Amino acid sequence: MNEQTWQAVDDWFCDRLIGPDDALDGALDGALAASAKAGLRAINVAPNQGKFLHLLARIQGARRILEIGALGGYSAIWLGRALPDDGAMVSLEFSPENAAVARANIARAGLDAKVTVMTGLALESLDALIAQDVPPFDFVFIDADKSNNPNYLERVLKLSRPGTVIVADNVVREGRVADPAHHEDEVVGLRRYFDMLGHDKRLETTAVQTVGSKGWDGFAITVVGG
């Protein structure tokens, strides 16, 4: 088994379960271009992962969604499509260039009335949302600079209600999260994130490893309790 096999299985799933889709395919191109420009591998979620998030949000009946890390709006389109007619989503993005691409892709998907992209450092945007006393979010997707996940969690909890679902992406990082030889900021941030999740009695969390077109990684999924 190797990455080629994982990719082939993802392609096989996507061929059967996710057809061609102008808005999503266009956003994927935008995300790929943004990643390439930043010298990164494609850092948007894979199509079957985007649909996984979409289904989670629908299963949960989310009416208000918060995303941290928009890139080109790919996951935002999947999540925005899970919203009911009167639903709303806010996606936070540091890079003005990425935010512009995300807004254009979201508009092309017909979701601009529901999905707002806020430009700026996510910590500052989260503090602004807290200061504005916005209604709690039902579903939160954390997918930006992983070193800040503990800080994001602290703020997201102030924007949550009992029952809010919090999903964090890229929590495995090819096993580095559990390998004491690694001390990169992102890995250290994720370890602290898991410590916070494990110690906070209000939170129920599990984490699952994934393999596929994005390599070996995983999601942490949390439900906020009362």
Output 131 or 181, the one with its CB closest to ligand SAM. 131
* Pairwise CA distance, residues 216 & 30, whole Å: 23
**Neighbour count for residue 122 (Cβ, 10 Å):** 24
197 binds ligand SAM (CB under 6 A): no
Among left, alpha and beta (phi > 0; psi -120 to 50; other), residue 151 is: alpha
Quick one: which segment of 37-45, 81-89, 126-134, 207-215 binds ligand SAM (CB under 6 A)?
37-45
Residue carrying structure tokens 């949302």: 129
Output 60 or 95, the one with its CB closest to ligand SAM. 95
Contact string 67-86 vs ligand SAM (x = CB under 6 A): --xxx--xx-----------
Asked whether the beta carbons of 65 and 138 are under 8 A apart, the reply is: yes
Q: Select from 10, 93, 138, 186 the one that contacts ligand SAM (CB under 6 A).
A: 93
Q: Select from 48, 98, 164, 213 the one that contacts ligand SAM (CB under 6 A).
A: 98
Residues shown for the chain: 226
* Pairwise CA distance, residues 84 & 97, whole Å: 29
Query: Can you give the binding site for ligand SAM, defined by CB under 6 A?
Result: 31, 43-45, 69-71, 74-75, 92-95, 98, 121-122, 143-145, 148
